[in-house]
Amino acid sequence: MALAFRTVAQLAGVSLSWLGWVLSCLTNYLPHWKNLNLDLNEMENWTMGLWQTCVIQEAVGMQCKDFDSFLALPAELRVSRILMFLSNGLGFLGLLVSGFGLDCLRIGESHRDLKRRLLILGGILSWVSGITALVPVSWVAHKTVQEFWDENVPDFVPRWEFGEALFLGWFAGLSLLLGGCLLHCAACSSHAPLASGHYAVAQTQDHHRQLETRNANLKN
One-letter amino acid of 198? H
One-letter amino acid of 136? P
Whether residue 54 contacts residue 163, with contact meaning beta carbons closer than 8 Å, is answered with: no
pLDDT band at 12 (very low <50, low <70, confident <90, very high): very high
The reported pLDDT for the residue numbered 156 is 73
CA-nearest of 109, 87, 129 to 197 is: 109
Measured between alpha carbons, how far is 109 from 85 in angstroms, rounded to an integer?
33
Instruction: Give per-residue pLDDT as tens, 38-76.
Output: 766 667 889 999 999 999 887 788 899 999 999 999 999
H/E element holding 112? Answer: helix 112-148
Measured between alpha carbons, how far is 132 from 122 in angstroms, rounded to an integer?
15
Instruction: Give per-residue pLDDT as tens, 91-125.
Output: 999 999 998 888 777 665 667 788 889 999 999 99
Q: What are the C-alpha distances in Å from 131 to residues 20, 33, 141, 201?
A: 11, 18, 15, 45
Higher pLDDT, 201 or 11: 11
Q: Is residue 113 domain-resident?
A: yes
Tell whether the model's pLDDT for residue 135 goes beyond 70: yes
Q: Is residue 121 domain-resident?
A: yes
- State phi, psi for 193 to the nearest 5 degrees: -70, 160
Q: Number of folded domains in the chain?
A: 1
Q: Which domain holds residue 158?
A: 1-33+74-192
The reported pLDDT for the residue numbered 152 is 82
pTM metric for this prediction: 0.80
The CATH number of the domain where 129 resides is what?
Answer: 1.20.140.150
Q: Is residue 177 domain-resident?
A: yes
Q: What are the C-alpha distances in Å from 163 to residues 53, 75, 175?
A: 12, 19, 19
Q: Is residue 122 domain-resident?
A: yes
Q: Is residue 178 domain-resident?
A: yes
One-letter amino acid of 53? T
Higher pLDDT, 159 or 208: 159
* Strands across the sheet containing 44-48: 61-66, 52-57, 44-48, 34-37, 161-162
